[in-house]
Structure 1
Amino acid sequence: MYNKGHKDVDGLIKIFKDRGMLIGDVEKAKRTLSHINYYKIKEFAEPFFRNETYTNISFEDVIARFYLDKRLRVHLLHSIEDIELSFKTKFAYVLGKRYGAFGYLDFKNWCNKKEFCRHYINDKEREMKKYIKRLINRDGNMIIKKFFLENQDCEYPPIWMLIEILSFGEVLKFYELMSNKNKEEIADYYNAQPNELESWLKALKYIRNLSAHNTNVIDSKILTKASIKNEWKNFLYIHPKNNKPTDRIAVPIIIIIYMLKRINPNYKIWKLKEVFKNLFKDSDYTANKYGFASKNLSIFERKFEI
């Protein structure tokens, strides 16, 4: 049974000290603990906690990690948003070009009939139509509202309008249902195979959700396995025991860099350089912990090509 009682900031400071954490400025640490939850700080100190003791870490170091993670999450959300917008636009373009404004409503037009049976496709079509109706009723998108005011005979919006109210995850689910021909046209734009693109987007969706919910991303494992191109392996840590690529933050970073080079070559990816420079602390060993092959920061340079 849980029986821990309330502790004030002095009590929390004592816990950290008793467990070996160095605290340079106690008063400043108290102020920090009054605004950042103890368990959030503990989360960022976890990699340095072994055998009930903190080793080689100070309270100030932990807070620095917290703010580096916060900066990184802001960059991740911004860059993944650009990728999401591009992917959704390509998805709508392919369906609109091949099947017209409302062809998406007939799933047998564009779904993979070799992989999915007729009943499954029909079920997904019914689910989507119900979902779109709910979205239309609750969404405040002015373009959609204007469309229905001007086209009162229409039950659903055209695909190029619908895409504006569908989430990244929803469009990704529809991409999974697509025929190989449709998938390939979208994936070709990103110089990827359909299975590669799908795995990358799932990894980005996963890290985007962590970032949006104030979760520690620098220490997170990427639970959705992403396909790794051979040329990426020069920049990623490869486990010597099993020869498998890392599952750490380096993976979504390299995906973002690769995709943004095709979407927006002028994207300021170099802004991430300072975050990782501070995380690596000029150490290959530390860089490996985050999934990078070394402390080399060349992938964040403006002129880097991959």
Structure 2
Amino acid sequence: MPRQQKPWISLDQQLELLKSRGMTVDEPQIARSYLEKLGYYRLSGYWYPFRQLSTHFNQELEIPIRHDEFVEGTHFRDIVDLYIFDKRLRLHALDALERIEMAVRVDIAHLLGEIDCYAHENPKCLHGHFSKQVKKKGPAKGKTEHQLWLEKYEKAIWRARREPFIEHYKKNYAGIPIWVAIEVWDFGMMSMLYSGMKLQHQDKIAEKYGAPSGHDFSKWLRSLNFVRNVCAHHSRLWNINVLERAPIPDYEHWRQINNSRPFFYFCLMQKLLAVISPNSTWNKRFDCIVESFPEPQNNAINASEFGIVDNWKSWPVWGLK
């Protein structure tokens, strides 16, 4: 049986469809402009929580069902306000994640570079599970995690081959030392190599940032890389379910937080920034963004979906009170 094709509809038809489902469009031209610039599908992620919700029972299981119709009192402006809030949140996260990425890259390069200037390429400088243990199945069968990392690294070097610093080191030296190589790493490559370091080296860097262990810090980085990818691809952040979950440290207040929600990872960012940039106003700017959370009259959305909890401003990690 041939699969159905989703019909194309014009921008004006998209607006009419939204109105037919109960959304109020107060300023059609402005709404049309947003559909034209951002796209119906991207905005649909922001109006999803405004759709009516009911519960279906199947063999005594409650199954939530979202309907096409909107909750009464939903305005297109509500969707735009939520999108703008989310955009501010994404940009604010990227501001922190850039600084975290730069700082941890230098930590890795400084520590490993003292052992071997080409430590990133030397399996002896890394943990055996990362550098010696081969995969027994899948497309990477027969390869180690380090070999897979090196493949990504070589691709990054090739992309940067015209950069003067790459040309210089390739022309004049036996290789690219780790403190130079970090300039072509992305957050994922940095996180992956950190996870492949020897435990004592992981722990030394983790201690600097107040993480319980190198193992925990490795998972923090992996989770923050997930958040970074969400932000870098302009995806919705404010209420996503974080798939790469970091362990919750046993600190005061932190057990109140849900590590599947984004707020937990903003707490992690602030904790790391307190070490990297102790005079930063990132915490205060985050507070301002949270205060701007849209509050539609029909109460279809709530900041609790972001994972935020009461009294968070009084927590020592935030340094707000």
Q: TM-score range by the shorter chain?
A: 0.7 to 0.9
| Pairing 1:222–2:242 present | yes
CA offsets per residue over residues 211-270 of structure 1, 9 Å max, x none? 111111112111111111233645854xxxxxxx24111021111111100111122212
User: How many angstroms does 1:7 deviate by?
Assistant: 2.0
**2:195 maps to which residue?**
176
Partners of 1:74 and 1:211 within 8 A in 2: yes
| Pairing 1:111–2:113 present | no
CA offsets per residue over residues 253-300 of structure 1, 9 Å max, x none? 1111111001111222122222211226499x9232210112754569
CA distance in 2, matches of 1:295, 1:111: 42
**2:107 maps to which residue?**
90
Partners of 1:92 and 1:163 within 8 A in 2: yes
Partners of 1:111 and 1:178 within 8 A in 2: yes
User: For 1:249, which of 234, 259, 262 is the aligned residue?
Assistant: 262
**2:60 maps to which residue?**
none
CA distance in 1, matches of 2:37, 2:185: 36
**1:188 maps to which residue?**
207
User: How many angstroms does 1:168 deviate by?
Assistant: 1.7
| Pairing 1:75–2:97 present | no
Identical residues among aligned pairs (%): 22
Any gaps of 5 or more consecutive residues in structure 2? 53-66, 136-142
CA distance in 1, matches of 2:266, 2:122: 37
When residues 133 and 257 of structure 1 are mapped into structure 2, their CA distance, relative to the original with a 3 A threshold, is closer
Partners of 1:196 and 1:227 within 8 A in 2: yes
Q: Which amino acid aligns with 1:147?
A: Y
User: For 2:276, which of 236, 247, 263 is the aligned residue?
Assistant: 263
RMSD across aligned positions (CA)? 2.9
More strand by share: 2
When residues 275 and 301 of structure 1 are mapped into structure 2, their CA distance, relative to the original with a 3 A threshold, is farther
CA distance in 2, matches of 1:78, 1:224: 20
CA distance in 2, matches of 1:23, 1:232: 46
Deviates more, 1:206-215 or 1:172-181: 172-181
When residues 212 and 101 of structure 1 are mapped into structure 2, their CA distance, relative to the original with a 3 A threshold, is same
Number of matched residues?
Answer: 291
Deviates more, 1:268-277 or 1:218-227: 268-277
Q: Which amino acid aligns with 2:9?
A: K
When residues 141 and 267 of structure 1 are mapped into structure 2, their CA distance, relative to the original with a 3 A threshold, is farther
CA distance in 2, matches of 1:119, 1:31: 54
Partners of 2:245 and 2:259 within 8 A in 1: no
CA distance in 2, matches of 1:208, 1:43: 19
CA offsets per residue over residues 130-176 of structure 1, 9 Å max, x none? 5544443431332232223333xx1x211111111122211211222
Q: Which amino acid aligns with 2:202?
A: K
Deviates more, 1:196-205 or 1:117-126: 117-126
What SS is found at the alignment partner of 2:47? helix
Any gaps of 5 or more consecutive residues in structure 1? 238-244
Q: Which amino acid aligns with 1:79?
A: A
CA distance in 2, matches of 1:280, 1:297: 19
TM-score (norm 2): 0.80
What SS is found at the alignment partner of 1:61? helix
CA distance in 2, matches of 1:186, 1:40: 39
What SS is found at the alignment partner of 1:231? coil
CA distance in 2, matches of 1:279, 1:214: 18
Partners of 2:90 and 2:237 within 8 A in 1: yes
CA distance in 1, matches of 2:316, 2:238: 17
**2:302 maps to which residue?**
286
Q: Which amino acid aligns with 1:138?
A: R
CA distance in 1, matches of 2:206, 2:97: 17
Partners of 2:50 and 2:70 within 8 A in 1: yes
TM-score (norm 1): 0.84
